[in-house]
Amino acid sequence: MLPTIKSKETDPAEIGWPPTLPMEVAMRSVPLSQLLADYGLSRQDWDTLSHDVNFLADVKHWMDELKKDNGRFRMKAKLQAEEMLKTSWRMVQDRETPANVRADLIKATVRWGGLEPKPSQEGGGDAPFQIIFQMS
């Protein structure tokens, strides 16, 4: 159930449990048996997941998110975004996708993941800039 990276072409969104699973468990919108069938998981897979502290933390996170204003809507938007990452991955890996589109997808993924370098607090650039006036 938990795939390992075999090559650079492996989609990172496919490593571990499906990212949408903890959200759907938290939403409790379908019976567990249907959820397992939808994800192609066995009862043994579920027993393993239901004892995994990281998986349980993900479920708790999404349960807390549901309690916030518009929580259900935001969760559905996040579910869609997770699925769209798979499309983005395929497009970036496809050499037929125009280079500018691939570059934009890579930049967007870095931005969405919060991986961009933080601008300096001084002036908003990479390095602080100061002008010092001396009165004589």
DSSP symbols for 29-81: -S-HHHHHHHHT--HHHHHHHTT-HHHHHHHHHHHHHHTSTTHHHHHHHHHHH
| Sequential pLDDT tens for the chain (136 residues) | 444 334 445 666 666 788 889 988 998 989 999 999 999 999 999 999 999 999 999 999 999 988 888 888 888 888 888 889 889 999 999 999 999 999 999 999 898 888 888 876 555 555 566 666 666 5
Q: Is residue 69 part of a domain?
A: yes
pLDDT (0 to 100) of residue 5: 35
User: Would you say the pTM of this structure is higher than 0.85?
Assistant: no
Q: Which domain holds residue 59?
A: 12-93
Q: Is residue 52 part of a domain?
A: yes
Q: Is residue 114 part of a domain?
A: no
Q: Is residue 4 part of a domain?
A: no
Q: Is residue 132 part of a domain?
A: no
Domain count, the chain: 1
Q: Is residue 30 part of a domain?
A: yes
Report the C-alpha gap between 6 and 21 in whole angstroms.
23
The tokens 């807390």 sit on which residue? 64
Q: Is residue 126 part of a domain?
A: no
Q: Is residue 131 part of a domain?
A: no
